[in-house]
Copies of this chain bind each other. A is one copy, B any other.
Amino acid sequence: MKINLKNSSINSEELESCSRIIRVAHEKLHLKTGAGSDFLGWVNLKIEKSELEKIKCAAKRIREKSDILIVIGIGGSYLGARAVIDALSHNFYPKNVIFAGNNLSPDYLNDLLDYVSTKSITLNVISKSGTTTEPAIAFKVLRDYMEKRYGKEETKERIFVTTDKEKGVLKEISDQNGYETFVVPDDVGGRYSVFTAVGLLPIAAAGIDIDKILSGVYDAEEEFKELEKNPCYEYAAARNILYSKGKKIELLVNYEPKLHYISEWWKQLFGESEGKEGKGIFPASVDNTTDLHSMGQYIQEGERSLFETVINIREAYRDIEFSVPEDSIDQLQYLNGQTMNEVNHKAMKGTVIAHTEGNVPNIMIEIDRLDEYNIGKLLYFFEKACGISGYLLDVNPFNQPGVEAYKKEMFRLLGK
Contacts and interface: CB of A to CB of B under 8 A. Distances in A.
Interface of A: 74-76, 78-79, 90-94, 98, 102-112, 114-115, 130-131, 133-134, 136-137, 139-141, 169, 172-173, 176, 190-191, 248-249, 255-258, 264, 267-268, 271-272, 274-280, 282-284, 287-290, 292-306, 316-320, 322, 324, 329-332, 334-335, 338-341, 343-344, 346-347, 349-351, 353-355, 357-358, 370, 400-403, 405-416
Contacts of A137: 322, 332, 335, 340, 343
Contact of A272 (B298, B316, B344): B298
B358 A405 contact: yes
A98 B92 CA distance: 9
B295 A271 contact: yes
Given A318-B110, A329-B173, A403 B133 contact: no
Given A107-B256, A406-B351, A301 B278 contact: yes
A257 to B, nearest CB: 5
Contacts of A411: 334, 350
Contact of A322 (B140, B304, B340): B140
Contacts of A282: 249, 282, 284, 298, 302-303, 305-306
Contact of A140 (B91, B109, B324, B416): B324
A402 B278 CA distance: 32
A317 B113 CA distance: 14
Given A137-B335, A272-B297, A108 B91 contact: yes
A163 to B, nearest CB: 13
A349 B406 CA distance: 9
Contact of A316 (B107, B257, B306, B332): B107
Contacts of A292: 403, 406
A402 to B, nearest CB: 3
By CB atoms of chain B within 10 A, which of A173, A338, A357, A409 has the most?
Answer: A409
Contacts of A405: 300, 354-355, 357-358
Max chain B C-beta neighbours (<10 A), residue from A93, A98, A102, A322: A102
Given A290-B103, A301-B275, A92 B111 contact: yes
Contact of A107 (B79, B295, B318, B322): B318
Given A104-B255, A108-B256, A334-B414, 16 more contacts: A75-B294, A91-B112, A92-B111, A103-B255, A105-B256, A105-B257, A108-B258, A110-B317, A292-B403, A296-B406, A297-B400, A297-B402, A334-B411, A347-B406, A350-B406, A358-B405
Contacts of A267: 294-295
Closest 8 CB pairs of A and B: A275-B298, A75-B293, A275-B302, A300-B402, A350-B409, A268-B294, A350-B410, A92-B115
Contact of A320 (B109, B300, B306): B109
Given A303-B278, A343-B104, A410 B351 contact: yes
Most chain B CB within a 10 A radius of its CB, from A92, A257, A274: A92
A105 B140 contact: no
A142 B354 CA distance: 30
